[in-house]
A and B are shown apart, each in its own frame.
Chain A
Amino acid sequence: MEWKAAALIFAILLLLMYLPLAGPASSKLHGWGLYAYYTLDALTALVVAWVYRWGGRS
């Protein structure tokens, strides 16, 4: 994966952390569903870091 693609994906994952604060999303995302949403977002970041080979060159 190219670094620009990785940077874009991490930025999107970070922005998704703010999404539940938005009006419509705020009323729909709540309870353990919101807990799972945050956790899945972070888990995806871990997977992206893995696909990006943990920051290593090779």
Chain B
Amino acid sequence: MTGLLALFVGVLAIYFILGTVLAWASRRSLKSRNIREYYVAGGRLGTFLSALTYAATTYSSFMIVGLVGFSYATGVGSLGFELSYYVATLGLLSLVSYRVWSMSRTRGWVSPGEMIGDLAGARWIAVLAGILYLGALIPYASAQVKAIGETIAASAGGHYYLWGVLFGLAVMLVWSGLAGIWSVAVTDALQGLWMLVAGTLLLAWLILVLHSHGITLSMVGHALDAKGLMSVGKGFWTPTMFLAFTAPWIFFAVTNPQVVQRLYMPKDEQSLKGMIKWFGVFGLYYTVLVTLIGLLARGGVMLNALNIHPATKDQVTPQLLTVTNPLLGAIVFTSIIAASVSTADSILLTLASIAAADLTPSGWNEGKKRIAGYAALVTVAVLMAAVAALRISYIVALSVLSSVLLLGFAVPTLALIAGLKVEAWSVALSILTAPAVIIAGYLHGLHKPVLLFAHPVHGLPLSAWILIITTIITLLGIRRESR
């Protein structure tokens, strides 16, 4: 083992030991093993844990790897794309979080499917929602495990890929299994802070490198502008492409079960407010940070201050790690793994809660549901690792589709949260719209996920069509007495 590799493994070991100690200690907070306590902390999380678990679950390794690469390759439009998600999420959280949080306490919800089924007045809707959540999120979570394998393989050598996947599987199982959401939340807090510190240090290093070459921010701006990277409307960020990228993410806060479920967790109104506030601060800072890293790295390469040659967008951050200070490289390397783990184990626990709450017979008692949840936790984790171990490239592309697949949930979920009485058939048709549109697109020759994602039909991307169709279906399904 080389000295550099030993350093990377050493920092990774510190992260794993620290996280496991915290996860073990969090068992004291677990008051009982009933499923509401295990999956949503019985609604007893404070501000600090609520905010950091929301942020760390939301922001995966897409940020420090994908968005850095996107900014590097496509320019400032990446900031606009990611901040569109941010503005929409802050808006949705401000408008609907209190209602969801208070109803979850009075109605005892555990899973988001349970919420939709309860509000639509039909348990079979919860079952249907649960199946769709599983179908949409297993590829997404597998892509996170694959990212762990790829990160380790990039630093240690390709033959370590499988070890990386097994490491991811072990961390997910230990950190989610020890105390359910309590161990996930405390490790998310550690990982969220690690991501912030690592990103800040990488940006500071990059600024120092540029400064030492006499390069100013203005020079970087002019160099990028000359390549068309500091404007939008043409190049990569055409209006259609911008809409294709932003539309699926705008409703992320109400379509993705792992974040919807986090609205059930704050212990009181102050913690709920604190969660939104600190998520807002985290999200804005982290987005600005990672896009600046991408833009400054590109400027540094163009002005001959940096010597990296990424062949693809996803290679920008791994290549930066090879030219930076080794200790900083090890810290950032671990932050990539932390970002993947914090998203993957949160999704894993949410999917297990869906299996326990929505996919078990309604007559089952707490004990049977608890066992079903444990079985689902292990089964889904192994499935995620197995899919990742196959190392098939289109898993990442499929994961991109997960938000499109869940987009059909947006309009009926918002209508139900707003208190409108929506017929169960309308909710079912809406949430099945996205898979149907994607299958139709596939049958019409859009075989690659990226084409399904971005291809315009009559000038609009499929995601925009899904929103239009589901709005019509939901409007038709609103019962007269609630209009």
Residues of A within 8 A of B (CB): 3, 6-7, 10-11, 13-14, 17-18, 20-23, 25-27, 29-32, 34-35, 38-39, 41-43, 45-46, 48-50, 52-58
Contact = CB atoms under 8 A, between A and B. Distances in A.
B96 to A, nearest CB: 8
Interface in B50-106: 76, 79-80, 83-84, 86-88, 90-91, 93-98, 102
A10 to B, nearest CB: 3
B242 to A, nearest CB: 6
A37 to B, nearest CB: 9
Contacts of B225: 30-31
Contacts of A22: 233
Taking each of A10, A18, A22, A54, which has the highest tally of chain B beta carbons within 10 Å of its own beta carbon? A54
Nearest to B276: A54
B234 interface: yes
Given A39-B284, A39-B288, A49-B280, 10 more contacts: A6-B94, A14-B87, A14-B250, A20-B232, A26-B231, A35-B76, A35-B79, A38-B76, A46-B280, A55-B95
A55 B233 contact: no
Contact of A41 (B87, B221, B232, B233): B87
Given A7-B95, A11-B91, A55 B276 contact: yes
B267 interface: no
Given A17-B87, A49-B93, A34 B98 contact: no
B281 interface: yes
Interface in B279-306: 280-281, 284, 287-288, 291, 295
Contacts of B313: none
B276 to A, nearest CB: 4
A27 B295 CA distance: 20
A17 B246 contact: yes
B250 A10 contact: no
A45 B91 contact: yes
A46 B281 contact: yes
Contacts of A6: 91, 94-95
A14 B247 CA distance: 11
Contacts of B76: 30, 34-35, 38
Interface in B197-228: 217-218, 221-222, 224-225
Given A32-B230, A35-B76, A39-B288, A54 B83 contact: no
Given A18-B242, A26-B232, A26-B233, A45 B272 contact: no
B233 A35 contact: no
Given A26-B232, A34-B232, A46-B281, A41 B83 contact: yes
18 contacts: A6-B95, A17-B80, A17-B87, A20-B231, A21-B232, A21-B237, A27-B231, A30-B231, A31-B230, A32-B221, A34-B230, A42-B83, A42-B284, A42-B287, A46-B90, A46-B284, A56-B273, A57-B102
Nearest to A20: B232
B269 interface: yes
B288 to A, nearest CB: 6
A49 B232 contact: no
Contacts of B295: 35
Nearest to B238: A21
Contacts of B239: 18, 21
Contacts of A46: 90, 280-281, 284
